[in-house]
Homo-oligomer: A and B are copies of this chain.
């Protein structure tokens, strides 16, 4: 059965549109884009489209590839103290001469709507709701909420250990009372874990990694893989075979990705409420 990410996102958008319509001034989301990477520009345009659709002001700072770390840090400091910017994001990846973690650490945690700053990651881990949860993990939690899954006591397997998806979703699910296993490319047999899992979250970026014979027939598959081969987009799971067989599964695209942008907008509204009170 297909889990329709767009439909779940649309419900979030209806609520956000309604709440934002009552606000004046409107929330403002900033975005910093360095260079001219095609995918990054596409992501930024998508975020801009949704922000404006919801009534959020979108402010884009487009910077040349050779901006350099010092100058970029100055711009970040300026936005940290700009009161009309409620929250902002730095579109990743950054050019190789810039230390991305340095840049992320410089964002004010109060405006870090991507939830990548160590303080927000820490709050997420210890279960302090005052911070910002990274958008993709937050979107996955929204899917579970929408499916009315009781996570307590569930056997959940996560494939991949990135700072953006794998580790934060692990923290959120442990806090929700699930039994959580984190697998990675060094795990001798992924199958040994997935075959007993109630829920599998795959964020490996390896098309074909997750096959029907590796999973339970009543499991839920959240596919965070996103790999482009010959202009076609693939998730990690063998979607067609799994979908026919019975498990609930998110498609790629149209699954988790749709929620990621919605959660960015939810975080922006949260920043507005925190910073303007």
Expressed in whole angstroms, the Cα–Cα distance for A116 and B161 within the complex equals 22
How many subunits of this chain does the assembly comprise? 2
> Is B179 in contact with A180, judged by CB distance below 8 angstroms?
no
Contact, CB under 8 Å: B180 / A182: yes
Bitwise, A154-181 to B at CB < 8 A (1) or not (0) is 0000000101001110110011011111
B125 contacts A171, C-beta separation under 8 Å: yes
Contact A174 B153 (CB under 8 A): no
Residue of B nearest to A163 (CB): B126
A135 CB, min distance to chain B CBs, angstroms: 16
Residue numbers in B under 8 Å from A105 (CB-CB): 128
| Contacts A101-B128, A122-B121, A174-B161; A184 near B188 (Cβ below 8 A) | no
Q: Is A131 an interface residue (CB 8 A)?
A: yes
Contact of A125 among B167, B175, B178 (CB under 8 A): B167
Residue from B120, B161, B187, B188 within 8 A of A122 (CB atoms): B120
A186 touches B152 (CB 8 A): yes
Tell yes or no: A193 within 8 A of B by CB.
yes
User: Is B181 within 8 A of A179, CB to CB?
Assistant: yes
A170 vs B173: C-alpha distance when bound (angstroms): 13
**Contact of A179 (CB < 8 Å), options: B120, B193, B196:** B193
A117 at the interface (CB under 8 A from B): yes
B122 touches A153 (CB 8 A): no
Q: Find chain B residues with CB under 8 A from A163 CB.
A: 125-127
A119 at the interface (CB under 8 A from B): yes
Is A6 positioned at the interface, with any CB of B under 8 Å from its CB?
A: no
Q: In the complex, which residues 226-267 of chain A have their Cβ closer than 8 Å to any Cβ of chain B?
A: none
* Bound form: Cα–Cα A183–B128 in Å: 21
User: How far is the CB of A193 from the nearest CB of chain B, in Å?
Assistant: 7
- Name the B residues within 8 Å of A123 (CB-CB): 118, 122
Q: What 1/0 mask marks residues of chain A from 175 to 208 whose CB sits below 8 Å from any chain B CB?
A: 1011111111011100011001000000000000
CB of A270, distance to nearest CB on chain B (Å): 16
Is the beta-carbon distance between B181 and A180 smaller than 8 angstroms? yes
The reply to whether B184 and A181 form a contact with Cβ atoms under 8 Å apart is no
CB distance from A168 to the nearest CB of B (A): 8
Separation of A83 and B16 alpha carbons in the complex (Å):
47
Closest CB-CB distance, A212 to chain B, in whole Å? 22
Could you list 12 examples of A-B contacts with CB < 8 Å? A118-B125, A118-B126, A118-B128, A122-B122, A122-B123, A125-B163, A161-B175, A167-B171, A167-B174, A177-B186, A179-B184, A179-B187
Q: Residues of A at under 8 Å CB distance from B?
A: 101, 105, 117-128, 131, 152-153, 161, 163, 166-168, 170-171, 174-175, 177-184, 186-188, 192-193, 196
